[in-house]
Amino acid sequence: MENLAFSLNAAVPVFLMMVLGLFFRKIGWIDEDFAAKMNKFVFMVPLPTLVFKDLATVDFREVWDVKFVLYCFGITLLSIALAALLSCLWKDRSIRGEFIQASYRSSAALLGIAFIQNIYGTAGMAPLMIIGSVPLYNIMAVLVLSLFRPDQGGLDRKVIKRTLKGIVTNPIILGIGAGLLWSALRIPMPVIVEKTVSSVAAMATPMGLMAMGASFDIKKAFATGKPALAAAFIKLVGFCILFLPIAVGMGFRQEKLVAILVMLGSATTVSSFVMAKNMGHKGTLTSSVVMLTTLCSAFTLTGWLWILKSLSLISVSYTHLRAPRD
């Protein structure tokens, strides 16, 4: 029961925030336009501020882990290759690009940080996981969506150039870079600055999760049948079965293992749909997988956390959740 309680305490608050966003959308307090602006704001300001704060206030030498970053990069590459191989099961070539992207591209930034912060009180190893996976997510998404574009058989240099520029100017990547530099140079942070940064960072998780919930459309979750179900299974279960044992065998535990779990088994990111639509795809399959994985990840991530806790691979003290004493 203790392991189940741990898993529920770690996962349920995250998804309750999403349900709250969905509820606000239903009663008309949040509309589609406002939810989109909330998503953009969280991505541009609070999330980068959060990763900056968590990295800037720790010792760079203690945080940086080459082995962990290389694992995230290598497993991401293997996941993409496996998704590409499985896409050959579908005769309709026009959906293969969307299938591949939706199968591997996790909501690593928002859900990853939310989960680790809820369990450990900080973003933990999420920034390093993002460094090892997110740039590769974006680059490979362009390659895949271009190669399998319905009306095009090759790559567009302008699109690749724009994507590479987008990676370099990605607010979260910039926040990680600034945080690592601040930590490496050991620059002191004045109390006024620290409190302001902390206040802005505190908005990231609740606002981002509510915006995600407000954007949810359950009708789209079951719109494309077998390809969507297959991609969702691969995203939430398949990669975890294949690659979590490798992570355990390599000695990753605690925050690192939770970050890896989120990288492998969290919901498909909403930006997959945006990119698919902007690159000439219908986006129907992608939107179905996004909605389906968002709905089901509440159960699968709770289950994975229970398994890891039962095997004593992760543990936590909830002291960061207790009210401070006078």
φ, ψ at 87 (rounded to 5°): -65, -20
Q: Report which of residues 303 and 281 the model is more confident about.
A: 303
Phi/psi for 106 (5° steps) reads -80, 160
What is the spatial distance between Cα 76 and Cα 82, in angstroms, rounded to a whole number? Answer: 10
State both tokens at 222: 């079951």
Confidence of residue 292 (pLDDT cuts 50, 70, 90): confident
For residue 277, the tally of other CB atoms under 10 A from its CB is 15
Rg value, the chain, Cα? 19
pLDDT of residue 324: 42
- At 152 the pLDDT is 59
pLDDT at 325: 44
Cα–Cα distance measured from residue 64 to residue 234, given in angstroms and rounded to the nearest whole number: 30
Residue 106's SS3 state is strand
Q: Above 90 in pLDDT, residue 28?
A: yes
The letter for the amino acid at 135 is P
- In the prediction, which pLDDT does 56 show? 83
pLDDT-based confidence at residue 216 (cuts at 50, 70, 90):
confident
Percentage of the chain beyond pLDDT 90 is: 30
Q: Give the model's pLDDT for residue 78.
A: 97
Question: Is the pLDDT confidence value at 92 over 50?
Answer: yes
Q: Mean pLDDT in the chain? A: 84
Asked if pLDDT for residue 318 goes beyond 80, the answer is: no
Checking if the pLDDT of 71 tops 90, the result is yes
d(CA 201, CA 241): 33
pLDDT for residue 47 = 82
Per the rule left: phi > 0, alpha: psi between -120 and 50, beta: everything else, 322 is beta
- Dihedral angle sign, alpha carbons of residues 153, 158, 267, 23: negative
Question: Please, are residues 251 and 115 in contact by the beta-carbon 8 Å criterion?
Answer: no
Residue that wins the pLDDT comparison between 142 and 293: 293
How would residue 221 be classed by pLDDT, with cut points 50, 70 and 90?
low
Q: What DSSP string runs through 41-104?
A: HHHHTHHHHHHHHHHHTS-HHHH--HHHHHHHHHHHHHHHHHHHHHGGG-S-GGGHHHHHHHHH
DSSP-H helix ranges across the chain: 2-26, 32-44, 46-56, 60-63, 66-86, 96-104, 110-120, 126-147, 157-168, 171-184, 191-201, 204-214, 225-233, 239-249, 254-265, 271-278, 284-310
Greater model confidence, 233 or 62? 233
Cα–Cα dist 290/297, whole Å: 10
Average pLDDT over residues 216-234: 81
CB–CB of 172/52 below 8 Å? no
pLDDT of residue 223: 63
The ranges assigned to domains in the chain are: 43-202+222-295
Contacts for 37 with CB less than 8 Å, ≥ 6 apart: none
pLDDT at 315 over 90: no
Q: Mean of the pLDDT values across residues 20-29?
A: 91
List pLDDT tens digits, range 94-137. 889 999 999 999 987 777 778 788 888 777 788 889 888 888 88
pLDDT at 57 over 80: no
Per the listing, tokens 């026009």 go with 94
**How many CB atoms neighbour CB 70 within 10 A?**
11
pLDDT value of position 82: 96
- Region 160-189 average pLDDT: 82
At 126-164, the pLDDT tens digits run: 888 988 888 888 888 888 888 887 765 555 677 677 767
Residue 91 vs residue 260, higher pLDDT: 260
* Residues whose CB falls within 8 Å of the CB of residue 311, separated by 6 or more in sequence, listed in order: none
pLDDT surpassing 60 at residue 259: yes
Say if residue 263's pLDDT is above 90.
Answer: yes
Torsion of CA 314, 317, 320, 324, to 10 degrees: 180
pLDDT value at position 295?
82
**Percent of residues, the chain, with pLDDT higher than 70:** 91
Crossing angle of helices 96-104 and 66-86, rounded to 10°:
150
What are the Cα distances from residue 9, in Å, to 15, 93, 173, 240, 257?
A: 11, 42, 29, 21, 17
